[in-house]
Amino acid sequence: MVSVRSQGGRPAVVLDRTAFYPEGGGQPADRGLLGGVPVVDVQERDGEVLHVLAGAPPAGRVLGEVDPVRRRDHVQQHHGQHLLSAVFERVAGASTLSFHLGEEVSTIDLDKGPEALGPERLRAVEAAANELVYRDLPVTVREFSEAELARLPLRKEPARGCRVVVVSEGPLSEAFDPAEVVDASPCGGTHPPRTGAVGAIAVLRAQRWGEGTRVEFACGGRVVAALSEALRNLREAAAALRCAPAELSAAVSRAVEESAVRRKEFERLFAAAAQAEADRLSGSSGLVRAVLAPPVAGAAAWARAVAQALAARGRVALLGAVEEGRAHLAFARPRGPGPHLGERLRAAVALLGGKGGGSADFAQGSGPDAARVEEALREAEKALAP
């Protein structure tokens, strides 16, 4: 151990050499143990690698143990990204602008929009990237001389130094044939000795990101985990619809159609009930003020529908309804000259501790103080009195 610093209120150890990867280049930091003390973060600051510890730093010569599961996961995602980026460039002419390795999925930002990367092209890219995995090609990670760099078909220029990750058809000797290079990209991240270690690559989703496209993907063990979760969701959905997993698509389509039919019937019955309630309330003369009891969940929609039905009958309606401890108000009147109900409602709903508003002939709002709904309606009626 060379020295101890401080990082985020924790001790951070500097070593004379380390196998821990510090966060950078879109890849998270390693975790593990340093002299038996958990390493919770690794950062590079001013040329020093800081091993942030969960406890008191050990003294003297220390043994570092990198979490192998986390490291393998990061290696699979990061090298899988290199293979995907190479194939996107070759198959779709789309260059990678940035990369992020997340806890569950990783992303690549490309310079082409989604219109240039339809489902068929994404599947072609996925298949070609997996072919590179299955071929178990050698991966060379080292510094190259200026002369060697000039011969490499680099996807981007080195930002600093000459460390380059090269995937090739065969072992990369000093006198390599550029035609045998599958991909070459400057990178300071962690990578496997052969592409087969990536295991598998799955393109999960593509969506517009600015003027380009953000592609979500998973590699290696994450593909297995994602497949397991998808199968579990498929089985649960099939069980809910009482069908076999293979019949789920047809069952969902039927359920959607049946739901649409039921929704239309519900809307018809709801509107008819609102008209009937308006008929009942319009039996009295003058302004209609009432606290309604909704026939089903949806107090705000019920008050609105009845108020509008009363306005269509030439009446001024000041209605309230309560649902789950919250009061909803709906004010309506026939169109034309008359008081501005939006202003009246704002004052009334303020008594309920809420907000609302609207136009001169219709307004609605709600508030949490349901106990004052009758008071709010009375105050609104007083304000409308000539």
What is the residue type of 291?
A: V
Q: Is residue 297 part of a domain?
A: yes
CA distances from 153 to 162, 181, 186, 193 (A): 14, 7, 11, 20
Q: Find out whether 124 and 118 touch, Cβ atoms under 8 Å.
A: no
299-344 confidence digits (pLDDT tens): 999 999 999 999 999 999 999 999 999 999 999 999 999 999 999 9
Residue 118 structure tokens: 């339809």
- Indicate whether 163 and 15 sit together in one domain: no
Residues 52 and 93 in one domain: no
Q: Which domain holds residue 184?
A: 71-232
Where is the domain boundary, 42, 66, 90?
A: 66
Same domain assignment for residues 80 and 218: yes
C-alpha closest to that of 170 among 179, 162, 161: 179
Residues 60 and 153 reside in one and the same domain: no
Q: Which residues lie below 8 Å from residue 187, measured CB to CB, with a gap of 6+?
A: 25, 78, 82, 141, 163, 164, 165
The verdict on residue 266 lying in a domain is no
Q: Evaluate whether residue 242 is within a structural domain.
A: no
Long-range contacts of 352-355 (CB under 8 A, 24+ apart): 352/327, 352/376, 354/327
For residues 23 and 135, state if they share a domain.
no
104-113, 125-134, 141-150: least confident range: 141-150
Contacts of 364 (CB under 8 A, 6+ apart): 300, 303, 304, 328, 329, 330, 331, 345, 356, 358
What would you report as the CA-atom Rg of the chain, rounded to the nearest whole angstrom?
A: 33
309 within domain boundaries? yes
Rounded mean pLDDT, 64-86: 96
Q: In terms of domains, do 27 and 117 share one?
A: no
Q: Which residue has the tokens 């993907």?
A: 217
Angle at 67 between CA 66 and CA 69, to 5 degrees: 135
Total count of domains within the chain: 3
Say if 312 falls within a structural domain. Answer: yes
Whole-number pLDDT of residue 47:
86
Residue ending a domain, among 66, 88, 104, is 66
Dist CA 54 CA 270 (whole Å): 61
Same domain (yes/no): 15, 109: no
pLDDT of residue 160: 62
Q: What is the pTM of this model?
A: 0.73
182 and 51 in a common domain: no
Mean pLDDT of 255-262: 95
Do the domain assignments include residue 224?
yes
What CATH number does the domain containing 363 carry?
3.10.310.40
Of 208, 232, 256, the domain-final residue: 232
Does residue 75 sit in the same domain as residue 209? yes
Would 265 be classed as within a structural domain? no
The 10s digit of each residue's pLDDT in 31-54 is: 999 999 999 999 999 889 999 999
> What is the spatial distance between Cα 364 and Cα 16, in angstroms, rounded to a whole number?
69
What is the DSSP code (8-state) at residue 237? H
Pair type for strands 64-66 and 32-34? antiparallel
User: Percent of the chain having pLDDT more than 90?
Assistant: 81
Rounded CA gap, 139 and 322, in Å?
Answer: 67
CB atoms within 10 A of CB 159: 9
CATH number, domain of 164, equals 3.30.980.10
In a domain, 37, yes or no: yes
Q: Residue 18's domain is classified under what CATH number? A: 2.40.30.130
